[in-house]
Structure 1
């Protein structure tokens, strides 16, 4: 498909689907509460429905990278990456079991507020907020890279205008409609993403014949390779890294991050918050399975054709596999427009989620203490100005990304992942170690962040032995697709995975010392970062003097024995409630915040209270 083949019909479909986002923003600016308070603007009045929130949580973490990178990973490396879905589902379970019951009752607008209350330390909150803001702004710029370069290659649409368009659209509906608009647009964009990838899967399968033929071809070419139990952490993908490493990577984002807590905090009850997080796992299964199957089907198509465009040099990156297939096979009026809309939807959902996250954290953690006495109307306009500021910052970052080479760009993605261990460390220290003091809580994550940045950058000086996969080339004619994709020089990541430009190979036997450390699989980054943060923090705590655990309010802590007590049969003497779960409130506040606001039951009765009243309500069973 050349630029000329992006027809008027494609532009109309593309335009309608993208402009819908702006319409939603206008709707929520004119209806309902009209976003007149910061609580409505930032938290949707905590009265959203389960389904759109579940969809928003899903697409907040599934970007255009899913549409381009995950099929490319399956195409080039086989089916092993699909096991990461098990790890993600495990992360959803842990997040729902541990972190949602911990954070939801606290009614946080900024997730990092928890750190200040837990450690009685403003510096801990500001440190975590700073790490989160830097990482999110950087990722916002990168998230718009894939669809912008794709649209430029397909239509000749200028990249700089595409970057700006994404930022302006996100700023528009977030500025007008707040979190309500972001959540509803996310839900719509999730449908568009799924439609785009389903179209590719169905067409490729039909061209090959049927799914049985697709699977047989991939098996013949050595692509059906799920099980690698080698425990070596330098192996890019193994069962352990894909399941355990992925589970640790995703537990924080799903249960202990601003993106997730802001969304499940917009729901009216704890029960609905849990349902939303578990329900999004259904969408996760569908969209990840579909994108992985699409990569398998497209590989089978190129085997039958007898020429892999990547090996033949027709394209420069595996990320171009899916756009190339669309250009070559799906050149029907409207279909290219749908595909480009699905790419844009992935980026818009991520960037708008990042905008709402940045606004909430920066206002609550950095600005609000200085304007606390101002009216809520002033607070509302400050948050809207922040939307414009961070949108401009994201656009500016996109222009910087545009000028980076492939390896440097991929290194910046790796640097983003390095922040996960530090932020997870804050949460683990706060929730599981009551004796950890404020000095340790700040020092450990900072050291972790610095070390993981160093490892992430060093990784690009070492590349191990490449995996030996065959590609079809018997019918190749050099340059048969180059005219269509010559401008398509996208250098994003493969499903969040690193693919670098060639550098000198280091034999596997020589991976010693720093080279071996730099060769650590990216899937273990968050795990190693969390371990470093916790160990350093506990050492510093021991040196400087641990905090008295009795001083820490129980509502800020997690007791694993209590959370896992449901596994113990009642005949073994398991009590319904831990004696540690006492009704406690924040001094100086009108409302008592319970450690389990909605789940505290006694004979079918739920207890709710305030400093003035204590009422008994029948449980809604």
Structure 2
């Protein structure tokens, strides 16, 4: 960890100033904006926001704050192959617009998993899907909370526990005050700020390196810009095939089946506005996604011949971006604080949005069905959800302490998302696209999808396999004057790069006998494919079990199936179980009828 040997007054002033501005958004929403009187006000917002604001909020929510630090370090130490996952993200947007949104936009639901209850008339399927979402977000928010703590440790020297506890506490307060409106506008503020900071890094780095072409040449010459790797081997950590396929399925699960995004869709005025927002979001996501990778290119070109990680100035690869800002922008008072505040506030607003969704799903899909929770007034429902949010904020704080066990925030976030996204996406595809699917098939499918995915992921942790390698790094130009005078190397660092500290040439020993075992191959499959595997298992098993167990009681409303499926499968009988014109005014208990 680097240490700053200068007056931090400007940095602290900028940091706390930006944090206060973000918190003031929540305070304004609470005391000066439209009042939150009911659960719906908290979940969907009390006022309508513009398409532009919603676009930035969706883009920031999709990328997450982890991309700000994770993408530059990924390019620096492993290359740009993961950059190609943008293709999967872009393919997901039109699919969500034309497959997912038309089905449940006008259903009048608070929880997206309420749709599964309506479709399958099964509380079990609904609870399994809700539980999957809760599990995923618990794990993923640990990454989100931990990400800015890496930078705060690098720049300010704060221990992880101080940063994590502070961020969790502010998130809880922010969540009580603001609700969805504050989270959306905070997303907008942080998106604009991060774009500005990224552009500043790219422009300044281009000036230092005498042009951006020099940056491109340095990255290309050292293997950082190797694209279009179509190696079919599924055990390779990331290739073009796995990046596109894996990210497509993950993005479909996030954008199409995640409560926090569906809340944003349902807060808009019309389905047409949702479609326009998502499609207009494509160029926004390209810019925001690519900026972080361009930042990584700049940092590598600057440190091409003196890697701070190898030379002992940082102890974690994810510290490379905050280290660069500290090293190269020390002449500009306040920029470090602005950078830190952007990371902090980005994690803050994203955490508020997710806690909002977690609390809503927990109340709607679990607690609301309990005898003691029936008949609550709107204001009582509102405060019940906020109390649940406080509890979740504390739990997520604990999850953040576990993230450091994985190799980088991108590795952690992609692994967590891959493991939990497949079965969730699969059960929604069953519900929307396969008319024959019933509750028994959906239940068996999602359970087996989870078991197989977790089995593979667990096996991947216990087998001996080649260690994840870094691209070659150099320290031939390193000396005590290469970096800024305001930073110094760790006191406990010993000269020389050891295999224990950085192992881009060494690998763990592998038993050749194990490599012949079919299970070894299965456990060696890249985590990028976990979502595909989980989705495929859920859909296949779900459809097969549904076909075997089908009976005349498997009734559903044809409006709960995608319209295109009914046009293609017109030979099936259309059975209506209730009037869709009044569906939006009906409570779930009125249409719930277990088989």
Q: Which moved more, 1:55-64 or 1:523-532?
A: 55-64
Q: Matched residues in 1 for 2:285 and 2:245: separation?
A: 18
1:433 correspondence with 2:438: no
Sort the Cα spacing of 1:308 and 1:3 in 2 relative to 1 into closer, same or farther, 3 A: closer
Any idea what the Cα deviations from partners look like across 1:353-411, whole Å, max 9, x if unmatched? Answer: 21111011011111223323121121111112122121122223334557x57699967
Q: Matched residues in 2 for 1:113 and 1:438: separation?
A: 14
Any idea what the Cα deviations from partners look like across 1:165-186, whole Å, max 9, x if unmatched? Answer: 2112222222122111111111
SS at match of 2:430: helix
Choose from 376, 388, 391 the match for 2:390: 388
Kindly indicate whether the alpha-carbon contact (under 8 Å) linking 1:26 and 1:177 is maintained by their aligned counterparts in 2: yes
Cross-structure match for 1:612: none
Sort the Cα spacing of 1:540 and 1:260 in 2 relative to 1 into closer, same or farther, 3 A: same
Cross-structure match for 2:190: 189
Cross-structure match for 2:316: 317
Cross-structure match for 2:139: 138
Any idea what the Cα deviations from partners look like across 1:288-340, whole Å, max 9, x if unmatched? Answer: 1111111112111112xx21223334433321221221222111211111221
Q: Matched residues in 2 for 1:229 and 1:272: separation?
A: 38
Shift of 1:417: 2.8
Any idea what the Cα deviations from partners look like across 1:441-493, whole Å, max 9, x if unmatched? Answer: 112111111221121222233433766833333213499879456799xxxxx
Choose from 520, 523, 531 the match for 1:515: 520
Q: Matched residues in 2 for 1:487 and 1:438: separation?
A: 59
Sort the Cα spacing of 1:6 and 1:427 in 2 relative to 1 into closer, same or farther, 3 A: farther
Q: Matched residues in 2 for 1:583 and 1:290: separation?
A: 50
Sort the Cα spacing of 1:374 and 1:360 in 2 relative to 1 into closer, same or farther, 3 A: same
Q: Matched residues in 1 for 2:447 and 2:362: separation?
A: 19
Cross-structure match for 1:168: 169
Q: Matched residues in 2 for 1:433 and 1:321: separation?
A: 47
Aligned-CA RMSD value: 3.4
Matches within 5 A, 1:121-132: 121-132=122-133
Shift of 1:118: 0.5
Sort the Cα spacing of 1:78 and 1:401 in 2 relative to 1 into closer, same or farther, 3 A: closer
1:527 correspondence with 2:529: no
Q: Matched residues in 1 for 2:218 and 2:491: separation?
A: 29
Kindly indicate whether the alpha-carbon contact (under 8 Å) linking 1:264 and 1:276 is maintained by their aligned counterparts in 2: no
1:341 correspondence with 2:345: no
Q: Matched residues in 2 for 1:289 and 1:400: separation?
A: 29
Cross-structure match for 2:352: 352
Cross-structure match for 2:496: none
Any idea what the Cα deviations from partners look like across 1:56-102, whole Å, max 9, x if unmatched? Answer: 21111322321111111111233322211111100112111211112
Q: Matched residues in 1 for 2:87 and 2:310: separation?
A: 31
Shift of 1:2: 2.8
Sort the Cα spacing of 1:315 and 1:84 in 2 relative to 1 into closer, same or farther, 3 A: same
Shift of 1:267: 0.5
Q: Matched residues in 2 for 1:538 and 1:228: separation?
A: 34
SS at match of 2:443: helix
In structure 2, the gaps of 5 or more residues are 494-503, 587-595
Shift of 1:31: 3.1
Cross-structure match for 1:608: none
Q: Matched residues in 2 for 1:16 and 1:230: separation?
A: 49
Cross-structure match for 1:571: none
Kindly indicate whether the alpha-carbon contact (under 8 Å) linking 2:108 and 2:583 is maintained by their aligned counterparts in 1: no
Shift of 1:120: 0.5
Bigger RCO (CA 8 Å, 6+ sep): 2
Kindly indicate whether the alpha-carbon contact (under 8 Å) linking 2:143 and 2:412 is maintained by their aligned counterparts in 1: no
Q: Matched residues in 2 for 1:311 and 1:438: separation?
A: 55
Cross-structure match for 1:34: 35
Kindly indicate whether the alpha-carbon contact (under 8 Å) linking 1:415 and 1:453 is maintained by their aligned counterparts in 2: no
SS at match of 1:551: coil
Matches within 5 A, 1:569-580: none
Sort the Cα spacing of 1:579 and 1:284 in 2 relative to 1 into closer, same or farther, 3 A: farther
Q: Matched residues in 2 for 1:377 and 1:487: separation?
A: 56
Shift of 1:527: 0.5
Cross-structure match for 2:328: 329
Matches within 5 A, 1:55-94: 55-94=56-95
Cross-structure match for 2:500: none
Q: Matched residues in 2 for 1:340 and 1:401: separation?
A: 20
Q: Which moved more, 1:218-227 or 1:177-186?
A: 218-227
Q: Matched residues in 2 for 1:196 and 1:558: separation?
A: 43
Choose from 533, 552, 559 the match for 1:555: 559
Any idea what the Cα deviations from partners look like across 1:147-174, whole Å, max 9, x if unmatched? Answer: 1232133213343232122112222222
Kindly indicate whether the alpha-carbon contact (under 8 Å) linking 2:92 and 2:252 is maintained by their aligned counterparts in 1: yes
Any idea what the Cα deviations from partners look like across 1:184-221, whole Å, max 9, x if unmatched? Answer: 11111222222232222222222111111111222222
Sort the Cα spacing of 1:503 and 1:478 in 2 relative to 1 into closer, same or farther, 3 A: farther
Choose from 368, 373, 376 the match for 1:374: 376
Q: Matched residues in 1 for 2:578 and 2:26: separation?
A: 36
Sort the Cα spacing of 1:549 and 1:475 in 2 relative to 1 into closer, same or farther, 3 A: farther
Sort the Cα spacing of 1:549 and 1:458 in 2 relative to 1 into closer, same or farther, 3 A: same
Sort the Cα spacing of 1:215 and 1:120 in 2 relative to 1 into closer, same or farther, 3 A: same
Cross-structure match for 1:18: 19
Sort the Cα spacing of 1:505 and 1:206 in 2 relative to 1 into closer, same or farther, 3 A: farther
Kindly indicate whether the alpha-carbon contact (under 8 Å) linking 2:318 and 2:409 is maintained by their aligned counterparts in 1: no
Kindly indicate whether the alpha-carbon contact (under 8 Å) linking 1:47 and 1:266 is maintained by their aligned counterparts in 2: yes
TM-score by length of 2: 0.87
1:361 correspondence with 2:361: yes
Kindly indicate whether the alpha-carbon contact (under 8 Å) linking 1:81 and 1:237 is maintained by their aligned counterparts in 2: yes
SS at match of 1:311: helix
SS at match of 2:68: helix
Shift of 1:585: 8.6
Any idea what the Cα deviations from partners look like across 1:256-303, whole Å, max 9, x if unmatched? Answer: 211211111111111111122222222211111111111112111112
1:538 correspondence with 2:543: yes
